[in-house]
Amino acid sequence: MENQYNYYNSDGMNGKGQGETPFHDDNGGQKHQVPHGKKPQKKIPKAVAVTGFALLFGVVSSGTFLASNVVGSKVLGLTGVTKTNTTATKSVSSNASLSKSSSVVTSDVSSIVENVMPSIVSITNMSVQQVQDFFGGVSQQQSESAGTGIIISQNDSELLVVTNNHVVAGSDTLTVTFDDGTSVEANIKGTNSEYDIAVVAGPLDSISDDTMKAISVATLGDSTQLKVGEPAIAIGNALGYGQSVTTGVISALNRSVSETNEQTGETTESDAKLIQTDAAINPGNSGGALVNASGEVIGINSSKLVGDSVEGVGYAIPISDVSDLIQNLMNQATKTKVAEKDQGAIGIKGMSVPTEYSKQLNMPEGVYVSKITKGGGAEAAGMAKGSVITAIDGTTVSSMDDLQEQLQYYKAGEKVKITVQTQSKNGEYEKKDVEVTLGKQSE
């Protein structure tokens, strides 16, 4: 049975493979004969066809999208997803002052800093050093260095500030500047060079009532609960320009750091286990606060432990590791320097026992007593040659420089408690305290 449909091919053949009879238009052009029973087909312009196709596609797509939204909201219960995300972002922002947008985390710590800043002070250390000139002459030169401190307590007569030992070392005058810009001269209560900690005191009668209202005592946190990756904020007197803030995270815990003595070139490894952070810690930040997202002090920053060629690595002393030590230093009597001619002497000759020798020889770090001066206070107290002085009145002594610096606070005739360690018959060192009446410097 023949196919009942005829169709048009552009080659002039009909559906049966037979040619159509051509015809001519009025202009003499040749045209193909249209099959019987069919009206002539008009071609649609290509631009119009494309436009219509696009409109049809858009209508169908829109309808599909709207239909899927209706099904998702009514059948699958997806209504309010956008609102939920917005609420979650606000919740994180209010609790930890951190907000997350896409994959980028931003931080606003202004409210934390506003609460902590009144407990942070700037410390200026004025000292006089002996300088030798080209011709061998010696002159005195005044130098100034900057650091930071944290207000940790007050007693009946003093405001107490903790800082690094190296911030106050060798000072002739210490000036503490508060958040409101006022300043007061301060004195050292106690220092510990081993952990690089010191406590200084400013007399309350030299601090105005307005300043006392403007400042606050810092809240100490628990550094034993720290986790790597949690936020960290460093506040301090960077470069001596005044208080500034840097932010980062806790990069690592329990770090041991090697220190190089600038004068001798000797390198020693610190026994203290430190907090590592990528919050910038620069000269002047020493003694400042490393705080957590709750505004609690979790560490005491130290720029001394950061090399010039290092970026993104800062260290802080964990506050929980030194809290007992700080308490002991706070309880010591406040020290004021006495005139050089009036300073007392123990009555010994000695030499430093640095950390590397201490470990090699299995002896305490401090001052090795090489000679007992005849008729001096050490002889009268029963001190022996070969013993090692490790502290004066509870303040750690790690070298001859430490010993001489501490003696600047004592007059001849005063009694001091000297902590010494002596070697027993089995080779072990035993610690004991002896009371020494200081003699004159000439002894």
| Reduced DSSP (H G I as helix, E B as strand, rest coil) percent helix, strand, coil of the chain, to 5 | 25, 35, 40
Please answer whether residues 174 and 149 qualify as being in contact, where contact means their C-beta atoms are separated by less than 8 angstroms: no
Locus of tokens 């002991």: 328
d(CA 119, CA 159): 11
Q: Amino acid letter at 226?
A: L
Tokens 């000759």 belong to 349
Number of other residues whose CB lies within 10 A of the CB of residue 173: 15
- Give me 409's structure tokens: 């606070």
Rounded (10°) CA dihedral 13, 19, 20, 23: 110
CB atoms within 10 A of CB 314: 28
Residues 6+ apart with CB under 8 A from 258: 267, 268, 269, 270
Q: Report d(CA 24, CA 106) in Å as an integer.
A: 79
* Cβ contact 406:395 at 8 Å: yes
- Show which residues are catalytic: 166, 196, 286
DSSP state of 192: E
Closest CA to 236 of 306, 132, 142: 306
